[in-house]
Amino acid sequence: MAWTGAHIPDLTGRVAVVTGANGGLGLETATALAGAGARVWLAARSRSKVTAARDGIRDRFPEAALDIVELDLAELASVRAAAETILGAHRTLDVLVHNAGLMAMPERTTADGFKMQFGVNHLGHFALTAHLLPALLRAESARVVTVTSTAHHVGRPVNPDNPHLTGRYTPWRAYGQAKLANYHFGIGLQHRFAEAGAAARSLIAHPGLSHTNLQNSTVAEGGTGWSGRLSQLLAARTGMSAEAGARPQLRAATDPDAAGGAFYAPRFVNFGPAVRRPVLRRLGLHQAIATLWEVSQRETGVVLDVKAAQASLRP
């Protein structure tokens, strides 16, 4: 039987954070988690859009426990402030879904001077995880789900001497690099959880070809020409619904049998039910992950050290 939202167990008493929860896959993910009883933090940049999203969820689930936190992943100060708000309300955090992302944007920079796609898709989420790490480690068995894409197959590992592709930037090259960074981050975080003896788990998911506003935003930005328009057309004509596209990340976040390091995706690459897929380990994987960690800490000034955080929580 294909996995659907009906398979999500009772999440009463659990706390979840979903980035990019104002629309598309993020909204579907937040809705399903809230419908299963979790207290869900809707984290997004636009206050008006996320407020409308909250109201829409409550139309379906009047008793849903929902909170809003403004989060701009393109600004490290906003990431820190959002984490402090969440930590101020909860000692533990059970589910963190890194859903927000940008696709194939023209060359632009974040408030901190990073290239926008690498900054939002990876560095912002890296910093958010680091700030929320104590609450994740205090939970009975927290899960961090990082959303990647089939584009990670064409991405190149981060070059420590040029992580922002200065002089080499193209929208799709930058997108592939950012999505491979998401893939490497999910694997690397699980290694660090395991080495520290932490109960928390890190998993990866990708939604396949889903018809959301992501493709429309890409075309509206005007940086991808015919390839962006083709992506938009394919998603509109053949893409899965946002509800179906969110199932891999929801399964990673909630399936009791999901193991740390697992990768969930549509059965037929970009289409089909959410199933566990093999994690393909390229030559040099461990070095690529180590380099990503070094670059991420250097660029953000934020340390993500699971062993140290775990040790600090011991009585």
- List the CATH number of the domain containing 158: 3.40.50.720
Pick the closest to residue 127 from 183, 184, 81, 174 (CA basis): 81
Res. 230 pLDDT band, cuts 50 70 90? very low
Average pLDDT over residues 226-230: 47
- Of the listed ranges 171-180, 201-210, 293-302, the one predicted with least confidence: 201-210
Contacts of 91 (CB under 8 A, 6+ apart): 135, 138
Q: What is the pLDDT of residue 48?
A: 94
Residue 237's pLDDT band, with cuts at 50, 70 and 90, is very low
- The answer to whether residue 31 sits within a structural domain is yes
Q: What is the DSSP letter of 212?
A: S
160 within a domain of the structure (yes/no): yes
Reference 178, options 249, 100, 76; nearest CA is: 100
Into how many domains does the chain fold? 1
Confidence of residue 219 (pLDDT cuts 50, 70, 90): very low
- Could you tell me the two tokens for 181? 């960074």
Element (H, E) at 18: strand 15-19
3-class SS letters over 107-170: CCECCCCCEHHHHHHHHHHHHHHHHHHHHHHHCCCCEEEEECCHHHHCCCCCCCCCCCCCCCCC
C-beta of residue 118 within 8 angstroms of C-beta of residue 163: yes
Interatomic CA distance for residues 231 and 54, integer angstroms: 29
At residue 208 the predicted structure's pLDDT band, cuts being 50, 70 and 90, is confident
> Which of 193, 189, 154 minimizes the C-alpha distance to 293?
189
Which among 104-108, 167-171, 223-227 has the top mean pLDDT?
Answer: 167-171
Diameter over CA atoms, the chain: 58
Q: Which of 94, 97, 79 is nearest to 30 (CA)?
A: 97
Flag whether 229 is in a domain. no
CA atoms within 13 A on the CB side of 74: 14
pLDDT in tens, 125-166: 999 999 999 999 999 999 999 999 988 989 999 999 999 999
d(CA 121, CA 111): 14
Q: For residue 101, give the amino acid letter.
A: G
pLDDT at 286 over 70: yes
CA-CA distance, 224 to 114, in Å (whole number)?
20
Burial degree of 108 (CB within 10 A; 0-12, 13-18, 19+): middle
Residue 268 in domain: yes
CB 93 within 8 A of CB 86: yes
pTM > 0.85: yes or no = yes
- What is the Cα–Cα distance from 199 to 49, expressed in whole angstroms? 35
Q: What are phi and psi of 19, to 5 degrees?
A: -85, 150
Domain span holding position 19? 12-209+243-313
Structure tokens at 151: 């584009």
Is 175 assigned a catalytic role? yes
Q: How far apart are CA 222 and CA 85, in angstroms?
A: 35
Query: What is the spatial distance between Cα 155 and Cα 177, in angstroms, rounded to a whole number?
Result: 4
Whether residue 122 has pLDDT greater than 80: yes
* pLDDT for 315 beyond 80: no
Q: For residue 116, what are its two tokens?
A: 């926008």
Least confidently predicted of 1-10, 83-92, 214-223, 274-283: 214-223
Q: Kindly state the tokens that stand for 120.
A: 């939002």
